Amino acid sequence: MSKRKRIKIGREKLQRIIEMCKSVEERSLDPFLIDVDEAVKTIKEFFPEWEIPEDLCLDAETVYHLASVIKLQSEWVKHRSTSLYTDPFLLTEKLVHIEKEEMVETFLKAWHPIVEIEQISLHSLAEALRYWENLLPLSERWQEFQPSEIRTSPATREELIRQRILREKAFSEELESFWQELKNKVKEKGVEGKIRYWDFVGAETYEETVHRAFLTSFLVTYGYASLEIQSLEEEIFIKPNEKPAAKTRKKQLVSIPIAVTTEDWTKWKKGELR
Amino acid sequence: MRRRKGYYASKMKRAVHLLFYKRHTKPGVKGWELRKALGADYPKVLKILDNYLKALDLQVKTVFEGEKPVEKPTLEQLDKARFYITLRGDLTPKEAKMIGWRIDDLAGLAITIAYVISKKGKVPRKEVEELLRDKLPGWKVGLNVDRYIRYGYLTQDENEQLYLDWRTRAEIDQKAFIDMLLSK
């Protein structure tokens, strides 16, 4: 069997395990319907085949769902060992055949309703009277609102920019100058033609940092730059391309989420984050 | 001796005010609230009150965090627990009617609770409605389940799964109920 075909079969098998686990989790089916040993064997069998991140994620997801089912199995065993456990089938049979009156009689013997009182006290009455005395009449509280006359006139381009309805530069222009900035920064501070992600994205304010991260994501998507992730060191670098790289269909595009949180930004400001 | 008696009598009064009158959206008082109002010896005050309420067929009911009752609770567990005043004995069907429950609705509640318990505390709403539809008119079934949820006997998640909620834990002796049901 070719490697490609084996990978395809492996994916299908993992998907099937995930679906089975999900149906047990969501529809509260008997968790022992799933043969965990068999599922683990399948996961193990196909693990050496996984190379791309998507397949590794699928593998991790399968393990996660299987772990949830094992948790449900342990809860099931715990429940069976408690004194509250009753055979669901036996109980359902009873519930179907029991008379309404008999059911109510049984229930009433085990039901001890809460006693609650809602009553106004003299103190609250006095308090309410005091409030009423101090309350202004509606005619004074809801005085008619006279709207002031507003003159209308056409807005200028500067005003629209100030109100952030229009942008100062077209987005493509902004992206081009941002690319230029990246190139300059790499020349100044970069090593081997690349710069640390946070050293490029980080700015004086958090808002500005988020804006820069937003633009950076477009630089990468449109091929102006590429990301280099060193998983072991947990470091991300950004590398400007000399020319925008054309999109190629041969390679599968991968989305990489990078969190830009206030905590990370604060750490970066303190020099604690690379 | 008399001074000590007076001390507990005034604390008991305060406890009655707190426990009987509904102060939040849910009835009952948290242990830490009682500690704040009655002092560190509030478990003793509640014990005296519980003894006093025996004659009136009422009791102080403690519902601990989590599902299970605790045999010898620590102070921390008591602080996190919720305390209610509940009926000690049981009601007759006639009395139940007088406090606003129709026999159909009560039977529906009993069936639902028993069914959820039998399914380990979690059951799809559809299954419950199907079971109720056998003996209750269809239009009433959904309304009744909504009512049980509103009262706090049941709760429902985003997948329309039903679970037992705070009021069931506070009011119903689940073990006694199931035992009685199975011995029928």
Cross-chain residue pair B182–A104, CB shorter than 8 Å: no
Range B110-132 average pLDDT:
90
| Region at B28 (left for phi over 0; alpha for psi -120 to 50; beta for the rest) | left
The span from the CA of A218 to the CA of A176, in Å, is: 11
- Angstrom CA distances, B75 to A60, A179, A233, B3, B79, stand at 42, 63, 47, 26, 6
Cross-chain residue pair A94–B106, CB shorter than 8 Å: no
More confident residue, B37 or A121: B37
In a domain, A49, yes or no: yes
The span from the CA of A76 to the CA of A71, in Å, is: 9
In a domain, A148, yes or no: no
Cross-chain residue pair B103–A101, CB shorter than 8 Å: yes
Cα distance between the two ends of chain B: 52
- 3-state SS of A200-260? HHCCCCHHHHHHHHHHHHHHHHCCCEEEEEECCCCEEEEEECCCCCCCCCCCCCCCCCCCC
pLDDT at A144: 66
CATH of the domain at A199: 1.10.10.580
Cross-chain residue pair A83–B175, CB shorter than 8 Å: yes
pLDDT at A245: 75
Torsion of CA B110, B115, B118, B123, to 10 degrees: -140
Q: Which of A73-82, B20-29, B84-93 has the lowest mean pLDDT?
A: A73-82
Whether the model clears a pTM of 0.90, i.e. scores above it, the answer is: no
Sheet strands (E) in B88-152: 123-124
Last residue within a domain, chosen from A24, A47, A81: A81
pLDDT over 70 (residue B104) = yes
The span from the CA of B53 to the CA of B9, in Å, is: 13
A16: its two tokens: 């099937």
Task: Give me chain B's average pLDDT, please.
Answer: 88
**Count of Cβ atoms closer than 10 Å to residue A96 Cβ:** 11
The mean pLDDT values, 10 residues at a time, for chain A of 274 residues are 84 90 77 87 90 90 92 79 67 82 90 83 82 83 70 77 72 84 88 88 90 89 85 81 67 74 85 74
Crossing angle between the packed helical segments B125-133 and B138-151, to the nearest 10 degrees: 130
The span from the CA of A22 to the CA of A26, in Å, is: 6
Q: Which residues of B touch A118 (CB under 8 A)?
A: 21-22
Give the residue from chain B lying closest to A75, CA to CA.
Answer: B120
Architecture of domain B94-182: Orthogonal Bundle (1.10)
The span from the CA of A216 to the CA of A179, in Å, is: 9
Distance from CA of B159 to the nearest CA of A (A): 7
Length of chain B (residues):
184
pLDDT over 90 (residue B122) = no
B residues 29-88 near A, CB within 8 Å?
58-59, 61, 84-88
Last residue within a domain, chosen from A64, A81, A98: A81
In a domain, A257, yes or no: yes
In a domain, A118, yes or no: no
pLDDT at A86: 67
Select from B171, B175, B182 the Cβ nearest to the Cβ of A111: B171
pLDDT band, very low/low/confident/very high, at B35 (cuts 50, 70, 90): very high
Q: Which residues of B touch A26 (CB under 8 A)?
A: 159
What lies within 8 Å, CB to CB, of B172 at 6+ separation is: A110, A111, A112, B113
Range B121-150 average pLDDT:
91
A66 lies in which domain range?
3-81
Select from A84, A96, A111 the Cβ nearest to the Cβ of B175: A84
Only one residue has tokens 């045999």, namely B71
pLDDT over 70 (residue B127) = yes
More confident residue, B29 or A159: B29
More confident residue, B86 or A92: B86
Residue A114 amino acid letter:
I
Select from B87, B110, B118 the Cβ nearest to the Cβ of A86: B118
pLDDT at A145: 65
Q: Which residues of B touch A116 (CB under 8 A)?
A: 20-22, 27
Cross-chain residue pair B119–A109, CB shorter than 8 Å: no
B residues 153-182 near A, CB within 8 Å?
159, 161, 167, 170-178, 180-182
Phi, psi of B98 (to 5 degrees): -65, -25
Q: Which residues of B touch A78 (CB under 8 A)?
A: none
In a domain, A12, yes or no: yes
Only one residue has tokens 């209750």, namely B136
The span from the CA of B184 to the CA of A106, in Å, is: 9
Q: Which residues of B touch A87 (CB under 8 A)?
A: 118
CATH entry, B2-89, from 3.90.1150, 1.20.120, 3.30.2450, 1.10.287: 3.90.1150
Give the residue from chain A lying closest to B127, CA to CA.
Answer: A27
Pairing of strands A225-230, A195-196: unpaired
Q: Which residues of A touch B180 (CB under 8 A)?
A: 106, 109-110
Select from B58, B171, B177 the Cβ nearest to the Cβ of A106: B177
Give the residue from chain A lying closest to B88, CA to CA.
Answer: A112
- 3-state SS of A35-99? CHHHHHHHHHHHHHHCCCHHHHHHHHHHHHHHHHHHHHHHHHHHHHHCCCCCCHHHHHHHHHHCC
Range B98-125 average pLDDT:
88
Q: Where are the domains of chain B?
A: 2-89, 94-182
In a domain, A265, yes or no: yes
B54-76: per-residue pLDDT in tens? 999 999 999 988 766 677 888 88
Beta-bridge mates of residue B172: A111
The span from the CA of A269 to the CA of A264, in Å, is: 9
The span from the CA of B132 to the CA of B114, in Å, is: 12
In a domain, A103, yes or no: no
Last residue within a domain, chosen from A16, A51, A81: A81
Which helix (H) or strand (E) segment is A20 a member of?
helix A3-26
In a domain, A229, yes or no: yes
**Count of Cβ atoms closer than 10 Å to residue A83 Cβ:** 8
Q: C-alpha angle B111/B116/B120, rounded to 5°? A: 145
Distance from CA of A80 to the nearest CA of B (A): 9
Cross-chain residue pair B91–A113, CB shorter than 8 Å: yes
The span from the CA of B109 to the CA of B162, in Å, is: 13
Number of inter-chain CB pairs under 8 A, A vs B: 139
A9: its two tokens: 């079969």
How many structural domains compose chain A?
2
Select from A83, A96, A100 the Cβ nearest to the Cβ of B107: A100
The span from the CA of A255 to the CA of B166, in Å, is: 44
Cross-chain residue pair B90–A95, CB shorter than 8 Å: no
The span from the CA of B103 to the CA of A138, in Å, is: 48
Cross-chain residue pair A110–B90, CB shorter than 8 Å: yes
Cross-chain residue pair B177–A116, CB shorter than 8 Å: no
